[in-house]
Amino acid sequence: MDITPAPSPAAGRVFLVGAGPGDPELLTLKALRLLSEADAVVYDSLVSPDVLGKTRPDCERVFAGKKAGVPGCTQPEIDAMLIALARQGKRVVRLKGGDPFIFGRGGEEAAALVAAGVPFEVVPGVTSALAAAAYAGIPLTHRSHSSAVVLLTGHEDPSKPDASVHWEDFARIGATLCIYMGMRNLEAIADRLLAGGMSAETPAALVQSATTGEHRTVLATLGTLASRAREEGVKAPAMVIVGEVAALSRDLSWFENSITASCSI
């Protein structure tokens, strides 16, 4: 499908909107308004049904999700879809789990819209690292434990000779590491961090389905991270947090404690 600039009889616009981590109450007010006004919503697999339910009954909903190992829309197909809908004069919400510019390919879609002459806006969302950590009771920065946070993707095979993430380097900087899409390569990532000199006793956490009814936190150390994930059956979507602050979850895990308390009443 042609995505070069073309005149349009109606003024369509695309909004690249962050849907947050799952809990609809974590949507921004602007995201909520745009969902209620949208003519079409193109959404990802991590967008919760509760969030999608904020659209109008007559809103066109288009699934454009991708999962590892499962056929889905290619990025060029998604770009072309957004452009085509906008050229029909529609207000289009491109709805992404978390934040569109944090491992969400929002930058690629924005560039395609610019090339096609389609006006767009970006609406930030609560990204998974911040939400998972907060709901697990893990302060990503702490004056006594960590003064830096690094957001990393674990999607890429760490064994590739030309891998873009040099895990050994991040093992030595003393920051809290938040690893998106890291479950499939978890053991290899842990091995690379250990090879870089990070202690096997470094606290770590796995936060699955953060902020939703399926939210749970599994605590471990870097040395036991992969085995704990297998034992507990942790599956994607899950955030991997490695650093001294992860141990604070034992005392600060307010969300799971509140669920336990409500169930016991």
Name the active-site residue from 23, 39, 44, 99.
44
The SS3 of residue 18 is strand
Q: Are 118 and 10 in contact, with CB atoms under 8 Å apart? A: no
Q: Which DSSP category does 229 fall into?
A: H
30 is catalytic: no
Task: Give the other-Cβ count within 10 Å of 164's Cβ.
Answer: 7
Per-residue tokens: 83: 């452009």
**Ordered alpha helix ranges (H), the chain:** 29-37, 49-52, 75-87, 106-116, 128-135, 167-170, 186-195, 225-232, 249-252, 254-264
Give CA angle at 134 (128, 140), nearest 5°: 85
The residues facing 139 across adjacent strands are none
Residue whose pair of structure tokens reads 């606290």 in the numeric block: 203
Which of 39, 54, 58, 66 is the catalytic position?
66
Question: Is-catalytic flag, 79?
Answer: no
Q: Using an 8 Å Cβ cutoff, are 19 and 96 in contact?
A: yes
DSSP letter assigned to residue 175: P
Residue type for position 188? A
d(CA 16, CA 116): 15
Beta-ladder partners of 208: 216, 238
Catalytic residue numbers, as ranges: 44, 66
